[in-house]
Amino acid sequence: MGMKNRLTQKMREAEESNSKLFCAYVTLGFPKLSATEALIPALERAGTDIIELGFPFSDPLADGPTIQYASEQSIKQHVTLKDAFSLLRKLRRKGLKIPVLFFSYFNPIMHYGVSRAIRQLHQSGFDGLIVPDLPLEEGRMWESWFRRFDLSVVYLIAPTTRTSRMAEIARRSNGFVYYVSLRGVTGARTSVPSDLLRNVKAIRKVTEKPILVGFGISNKVQAKRIGRVADGIIVGSAIVERLRKGRKAVKSVAAFASGLIRSLKQT
């Protein structure tokens, strides 16, 4: 429907140019909606390839203290799904080009009405969804809807995922496969997990789709190391952490992202 899915196009371009992908996670409405509105275009200018716009939820089971805190602050401001739709619609009108994925737990989407939410996401200019607590079995019933509205659904593979299931997740994931590098919740870590290389290689055996690694990446050394084995990285907590620092936070996040992108793309 409408224009081509930006995520699919971005994946194709990255493959053709053999370049690594940088995905930035931002919590909607943290520290306030106007900051999110300024931050997304600033990240695009810094060279970010994909934005993951995280919707705040009161029980974020995959998120560590940093993103939990950001979610709590946004919830206090009564941020709604309609805010996500209108924010992206506004940014698209202003010329935002990069793919934006809607990251949300399933509960808020279900509460709003799944088919209604999918239609609104498409109309607002989103390119896909990441729903960390939506397993393959439950996702199946909605996949035809996602396809109908040209939205990619990205599924997650964990270090504990069995090989047979890995293959099925990779097959059903659109755009890329999200590898969760940690056993545990999100949050900046100082080192790269020892089984990362082995697990990324195992995923490579079952899919040709790009593999992006998230959870725990917080510095240039990690970006470079992971970039050698994966097709890209997803950075969330380290970005949200910088937004807590107050004034000039948008500028500082853009500079931080820019440094990570340089390290990643030199691999």
Of the ranges 34-43, 67-76, 183-192, the best mean pLDDT one: 34-43
In the prediction, which pLDDT does 61 show?
A: 72
Between 19 and 60, residue with greater pLDDT? 19
CA distances from 19 to 11, 84, 266 (A): 10, 30, 9
Q: Which residues of 65-93 are buried (b: 16+ CB within 10 A; e: fewer)?
A: ebbbbbbebbeeeebebebbbebbeebee
Number of C-alpha atoms within 13 angstroms, CB side, residue 119?
A: 5
In the prediction, which pLDDT does 191 show?
A: 74
CA distances from 70 to 4, 11, 30 (A): 32, 29, 6
Q: How confident is the model at residue 2 (pLDDT cuts 50, 70, 90)?
A: very low
In the prediction, which pLDDT does 1 show?
A: 43
Task: List pLDDT tens digits, range 139-187.
Answer: 999 999 999 999 999 999 999 999 999 999 999 999 999 999 887 767 7
Domain boundaries, the chain: 6-265
Query: What is the set of active-site residues?
Result: 52, 63
Q: How confident is the model at residue 89 (pLDDT cuts 50, 70, 90)?
A: very high
Q: Does domain 6-265 fall into CATH 3.20.20.70?
A: yes
Answer yes or no: is pLDDT of 190 > 80. Answer: no
> Structure pTM?
0.95
Task: List pLDDT tens digits, range 209-245.
Answer: 999 999 889 999 999 999 999 999 999 999 999 998 8
**Average pLDDT of the residues of the chain:** 93
